[in-house]
Structure 1
């Protein structure tokens, strides 16, 4: 009987690209749960704490849809505890195997991202915690502002390498002083 395929991080060979005003890095393939139903971001955040999701964040993804993202792999009991807490109001779909998260940070991050998306990333229009489903070039992403100069792009696994290479090209075009960290 053939061996089952093994999971390999899709961006495992990509190094961190960094300069004085920009940093590009692939994030760990932790967890990404899609929640759909009649709940709120505040209710989800409260249930996350009760279910042991210490370092997870809630991101709006459309009408009555959210992503719960974090860098750690989940125990089955954590996902079940969240599903039980939301029973009758919302459903959970584990998207961890199918989506990749990429972080872009630094004072040039918003300016660089504006070259690939139509989302207005000015802090007044897209404050910390904001999230939008959009295109970056031709690739569909969820764009989230994590901090004043800190963004995360969540992309389908099959497009992750192409998106990362496009972002690398944009980072390098920012100018001198760019280096790679392994």
Structure 2
């Protein structure tokens, strides 16, 4: 018997739903790092590049807080390298094990999201690259616009299945079906 339980992606068995104007999909669990400190976006981007994480995205998570997200799992040595690079200006907390990312895209994505959150999703109010912490129904999540009609939702791992089920029901109501 192993000392620790084997990691299983929480949404691994969930189907991708696709419809004429909507796509819902579980995203790779990859990495999600919470950075807190006295640094700005440009400085943080420079440090990410210096440690080989330039493919990761930076998302605002509040005053002097960011999430660094990417599709690949990071070895602890890469996280330690970023922590060392930021020493004296910011701290890094690995949240990869505790949060799950979900992709939602298509012309009806904002319509679906409007059924569960009070965020104004019009592109003039919530532009590409913008991120906010909000509720979807009763579940807290970070909502990021990653494209004109594309969003990424990041929720606590323990709420990810419930959130995905709710999003599935809404996507089906908009004409989505499991992708074959």
Matches of 2:54 and 2:44 in 1, distance apart? 13
Question: 2:99·2:156 contact (CA, 8 Å) conserved in 1?
Answer: yes
Q: Does 1:75 align with 2:75?
A: yes
Give a deviation string over 1:95-150, Cα, whole Å, max 9, x none.
00000000000000011101100100000000000000000000000000000000
Aligned to 1:41: 41
Q: Partner residue of 1:61?
A: 61
Q: CA deviation at 1:78?
A: 1.7
Partner residue, 1:26:
26
Structure 1 match to 2:178: 180
Q: TM-score, normalised by structure 2?
A: 0.96
Higher mean C-alpha deviation, range 75-84 or range 53-62: 75-84
Match of 2:98 in 1: 98
What SS does the corresponding residue of 1:14 show, helix, strand or coil?
coil
Between the two proteins, the alignment pairs up a number of residues equal to: 180
Q: In the alignment, which residue of structure 2 is the partner of 1:121?
A: 121
Could you list the per-position Cα deviations for residues 139-164 of structure 1 after superposition, in whole angstroms to 9, with x for gaps in the alignment? 00000000000000000000000000
Deviation (angstroms), 1:36: 0.6
Q: Which moved more, 1:3-12 or 1:137-146?
A: 3-12
In 1: Cα distance, 2:25 partner to 2:74 partner: 22
CA shift at 1:80, angstroms? 1.6
Instruction: Note if 1:10 corresponds to 2:10.
Output: yes
CA distance, structure 2, for counterparts of residue 51 and residue 163 of structure 1: 34
* Local SS of the residue matching 2:68: strand
Instruction: Report the CA distance between 1:45 and its aligned residue.
Output: 1.1
State TM-score, norm by structure 1: 0.95
Specify the alignment match of 1:162 in structure 2.
Answer: 162
Unaligned runs of 5+ residues in structure 2 are none
* Deviation for aligned residue 1:4: 2.0
